[in-house]
Amino acid sequence: MKLKKLVLCIIVIVLTMAVIQTPLLYTLANETLEIEHYEMDLWAVEEVGMAKLYSFADESILHSFRNHITKQELTNLSMNLYGKLTENIDNQEALNIFNNQLVNTLWKEGFDATTLATREEVGHALYYVIKTSAPELDYTVLENTNHKDIADLGEEAKKAIGYIVDKGILRGKGNNNLDLRTNCSRQEILVLAKRVYEHVIHETGRASKGYFYKVTGENSQVYILGSIHIADISIYPLHKEIEEAFSIADYLAVEADVTNMNDDIEYMQQKAVFLDGTTIDMVIAPETYKLYAEKLEEYGFTPEVYNILKPWYAAMLVQNLSLEEVSFSAGLGIDMYFLSKGQGNKEILEIEGLPFQVDLFDNFSAEIQEAFLIEALSSSEKTTEGSSAGVDSMKEMLLAWKHGDVEALETILETTDKSEDANDFNNKFWIERNKNMTEKIISYLSDENQKTYMVIVGAGHLVGETGIVKELIELGYTLEMVQ
In a domain, 23, yes or no: no
pLDDT: is 215 or 13 the higher one?
A: 215
Beta pairing, strands 211-216 & 221-227: antiparallel
Nearest to 479 by CA among 207, 221, 209: 221
In a domain, 264, yes or no: yes
| pLDDT over threshold 70, residue 337 | yes
In a domain, 376, yes or no: yes
Give percent of the chain with pLDDT exceeding 90.
67
Q: How many whole angstroms separate alpha carbon 346 and alpha carbon 249?
A: 8
In a domain, 328, yes or no: yes
The residue count of the chain comes to 483
Are 147 and 224 in a shared domain? no
The per-residue pLDDT for 10 is 46
Task: Encode burial over 158-188: b for 16+ CB neighbours within 10 A, e otherwise.
Answer: bbbbbbbbebebbeeeeeeebbbeebbbbbb
| pLDDT over threshold 60, residue 257 | yes
Residue-wise pLDDT for 367-419, tens only, equals 999 998 998 899 888 776 667 777 888 888 899 999 999 999 888 887 666 77
In a domain, 72, yes or no: yes
The per-residue pLDDT for 381 is 85
Q: Where are the beta strands (DSSP E) in 308-386?
A: 347-350
Distances (CA, A) of 269 to 265, 266, 308: 6, 5, 11
Nearest to 352 by CA among 245, 427, 426, 429: 429
Are 324 and 469 in a shared domain? yes
Q: How many whole angstroms separate alpha carbon 433 and alpha carbon 172?
A: 49
| pLDDT over threshold 60, residue 14 | no
Final residue of a structural domain among 169, 184, 203: 203
Q: How many whole angstroms separate alpha carbon 366 and alpha carbon 343?
A: 38
Q: Are 255 and 338 in contact (CB under 8 A)?
A: no
The per-residue pLDDT for 416 is 64
pLDDT: is 360 or 417 the higher one?
A: 360
Question: Which pLDDT band, with edges at 50, 70 and 90, does 144 fall under?
Answer: low
The per-residue pLDDT for 145 is 60
Are 168 and 269 in a shared domain? no
Are 144 and 276 in a shared domain? no
Are 153 and 261 in a shared domain? no
In a domain, 22, yes or no: no
Say which range, 131-145, 229-243, 461-475, has the weakest mean pLDDT: 131-145
Say which range, 24-28, 84-88, 181-185, 439-443, has the weakest mean pLDDT: 24-28
Final residue of a structural domain among 168, 203, 238: 203
For the sheet containing 452-458, what is the strand order?
A: 347-350, 251-254, 452-458, 221-227, 211-216, 478-481
Q: Are 339 and 252 in contact (CB under 8 A)?
A: yes
Q: Are 210 and 409 in contact (CB under 8 A)?
A: no
Final residue of a structural domain among 203, 237, 254: 203
Q: How many whole angstroms separate alpha carbon 19 and alpha carbon 230?
A: 9
Say which range, 10-24, 154-168, 243-257, has the weakest mean pLDDT: 10-24
Using CB atoms within 10 Å of the CB of residue 259, give its burial: 0 to 12 exposed, 13 to 18 middle, 19+ buried.
middle
Between CA 27 and CA 16, with CA 355 as vertex, the angle to 5 degrees is: 20
Q: Region 168-193: what's the mean pLDDT?
A: 92
Mean pLDDT across the chain:
88
Say which range, 21-35, 120-134, 417-431, has the weakest mean pLDDT: 21-35
274: phi then psi, degrees, rounded to nearest 5 = -80, 130
Q: Are 346 and 250 in contact (CB under 8 A)?
A: yes
Nearest to 201 by CA among 123, 129, 260, 261: 129
Q: How many whole angstroms separate alpha carbon 319 and alpha carbon 337?
A: 21
In a domain, 164, yes or no: yes
The per-residue pLDDT for 324 is 80
* DSSP codes of every residue in 7-72: HHHHHHH--HHHHHHS--TT-HHHHHHHHTTSS--GGGHHHHHHHHHHT-S-GGGSS-TTSBPBHH
Nearest to 68 by CA among 181, 165, 196, 150: 181
Are 149 and 235 in a shared domain? no
Q: Region 253-272: what's the mean pLDDT?
A: 85
Are 255 and 151 in a shared domain? no
Distances (CA, A) of 275 to 77, 113, 278, 347, 413: 54, 64, 7, 37, 34
| pLDDT over threshold 50, residue 158 | yes
Total domain count, the chain? 2
Using CB atoms within 10 Å of the CB of residue 30, give its burial: 0 to 12 exposed, 13 to 18 middle, 19+ buried.
middle
Q: Are 47 and 28 in contact (CB under 8 A)?
A: no
Residue 76 DSSP code: H
Are 231 and 331 in a shared domain? yes
Nearest to 339 by CA among 262, 218, 251, 276: 251
pLDDT: is 3 or 361 the higher one?
A: 361
Say which range, 125-139, 263-277, 373-387, 461-475, has the weakest mean pLDDT: 373-387
Taking the CB of residue 66, how many other CB atoms lie within 10 A of it? 13
Are 178 and 269 in a shared domain? no
- Domain span at 180: 28-203
What's the number of CA atoms in the CB half-sphere (13 Å) around residue 463? 21
Are 349 and 412 in a shared domain? yes
Q: Region 293-308: what's the mean pLDDT?
A: 95
223: phi then psi, degrees, rounded to nearest 5 = -110, 135
The per-residue pLDDT for 151 is 81
pLDDT: is 16 or 287 the higher one?
A: 287
Q: Region 17-23: what's the mean pLDDT?
A: 41
Are 162 and 231 in a shared domain? no
Are 184 and 224 in a shared domain? no
Q: What is the pTM of this model?
A: 0.89
Q: How many whole angstroms separate alpha carbon 242 and alpha carbon 238?
A: 7
Say which range, 202-211, 218-227, 262-271, has the weakest mean pLDDT: 262-271
